[in-house]
Amino acid sequence: MSIAVLSWVLDRLRAGERVAIASVIEAQGSVPGKPGARLAISASGSRFGTVGGAGLELRVGQALEDMLRSEDVSQRKRGGSVEVFLLHKDGKGKEVTALDSLCGGRVTVSMEVINPMPHVLIAGGGHVGSSIAKVCDNLNWSYSVFDVREDFCNLERFPNAVGLICCSVEELLRTENEESLRRFSDILLLSHDWGVDEDLLIGLLGISRDIERPRIGAIGSKKKWSEFEKSALENGIDKRVVEAVRCPIGLDIGADTPEEIAVAVCAEVLSLERTVNPT
């Protein structure tokens, strides 16, 4: 069961979901859940595994859901929690969480939230895209690459890419939907051709109305973004969705070279992942 639960957790993380997981780490007496029993809940509400059922399962499940709902940045720094449950109604008032049960056993459960690592779609395999890939390699982030040009989207240029997507914008958009796009934490529009970036932006915003994942950013000037914004609104994209796009991308660190821009862009992604407001 433990392997099955952990495999399920990894699948949900790859899909871009946060997951809360509880593990029984100690058990005494007559208890339904033995050490190693695990329950996992994803941010979308799906569940897998068990810590023993009945009142224990209910309380642990509620705690995991509360942890997933929490937006408290300090929770990430504190980590998870360990709670002791006494399966006896007479345990109230003691330094344990008492359950309305007569089993009499004691169960210690650890609970934590696991956040998916960034998975960046680098839409444009040119100099900046190549530099961003190298920073992602150093950070152990996943990334995929999209480019309409095969010379800029291949294993020789991006040996560590999770995925290589070499096709037209239209073909890419036909293969994606709102759920599949959530595997990406960020989509970075870095094409050599502003028309490719614009078509991709409008297509992506037409598929996904979720402004939280994937986050979309575009390289370029404020004038370029003004034209993109106008075009998106003319194509019926909601203003709220358009305004969530970041352009120009990257923290303002005075970056000039592709390598410096890559550092600025990945630093911004990290600040958003950690819910640190960039200034």
What CA–CA distance (Å, rounded) separates 234 from 206? Answer: 12
pLDDT over threshold 80, residue 96: no
Cβ–Cβ < 8 Å for 204, 187: yes
What CA–CA distance (Å, rounded) separates 245 from 227? Answer: 13
Q: Is the dihedral of CA 72, 268, 164, 133 positive or negative?
A: negative
pLDDT tens by residue, 9-19: 999 999 999 99
Q: pTM for this one?
A: 0.84
**Domains in the chain: boundaries:** 2-114, 119-273
Q: Hey, what CATH class is 119-273 in?
A: alpha beta
Q: Which amino acid is it at 71?
A: E
pLDDT tens by residue, 190-244: 999 889 999 999 999 999 777 788 999 999 888 888 998 899 999 999 899 999 9
